[in-house]
Amino acid sequence: MQDIEYSLVIPVLNEEENVEIVYSRVTAVLRQMGKPYEIIFVDDGSTDQTYSILRRFNLQDACLKVVKFRRNFGQSAAMAAGFEQARGQFVISMDGDLQNDPRDIPKLLEKIEEGNDIVAGWRKNRKDKLLIRKVPSMVANRIIRFLTGVHLHDTGCSLKAYRSEVIKNVRLYGELHRFIPVLARIEGARISEMVVSHHARRYGQSKYNLTRTFKVIMDLTTLNLLMKYLSNPVHFFGMLGCLFNLSAIIALGGCAYLFVTGESEFAGLNVLGSVAFLLLTSGCQFIFYGLIANMVVKTGEKHDPKLVEYYGKS
């Protein structure tokens, strides 16, 4: 079997009107590139004929692989499953709704070969509804750039190209598929972007709405925490522990002052003393949590391959 050069991952959900066109277009582009390739469709629990259509193509084309979820798990889970199945040296992801243009794939790969680990698409002329899609996306991208320091104009664009060793080192869950470049930056990946084409949706309905905003905010909060404290979680838990311990000392000082001056009854001192004891106990627990988390991280680092480049002979 020839070594696979390119793996194309396409998550789909109820796209029965689009998958046949998507399949024919990406196949035409990949064949023109003249290198061994594979196309991986991940059916994220479709309830229409999407899987049946893909299964028919799968029986006719050895380059096509289909992954079927029993129910809808979300785009992050679908992408993670596709990346796990990918065998190519380079991995490309895109949506299955015909809004991404497969003709941009060779351009993304050319930019990868310039020395980048990830090349993200930028839908500069986005063909979506202004208030529902474009405005929330612009605001979210500004917040993401500010909090993460990864300066991409369009983190939500699914059309991206990756080096295999990079994307297989990224763990996806929740709604983190839109933050793949940020997760890869934690591992030291080199990231670039380029303007790609974007088309209006012709068939089917968009799976995105404003209700996802809350999930994105929570995932961004988690991601920001990971970027700052992933390698040294004791700093985060230690900070909380010191804050609680300082509050306990202040409460104990208040108890001592009230006891000496006699300005409070025994019941009041008892309550304040109990609060001080709880704060002190919580502070010590946070510090111990931090130490345990640090031990877990350091133990995992021994078995976690990093993105390393070697020059010269080994």
Average pLDDT, the chain: 85
Instruction: Please tell me the pTM assigned to this model.
Output: 0.75
Q: What is the pLDDT of residues 129-149, one digit of tens each?
A: 766 667 777 877 788 788 777
Long-range contacts: 47-50, Cβ < 8 Å, 24+?
Answer: 47/14, 48/14, 48/16, 49/16, 50/12, 50/13, 50/14, 50/15, 50/16, 50/19
Mean pLDDT of 171-177: 78
Mean pLDDT of 180-186: 85
For residue 264, name the pLDDT band (cuts at 50, 70, 90): low
User: Helix %, strand %, coil % for the chain, to 5?
Assistant: 55, 10, 35
Q: What is the pLDDT of residues 17-55, one digit of tens each?
A: 999 999 999 999 999 999 999 999 999 999 999 999 999
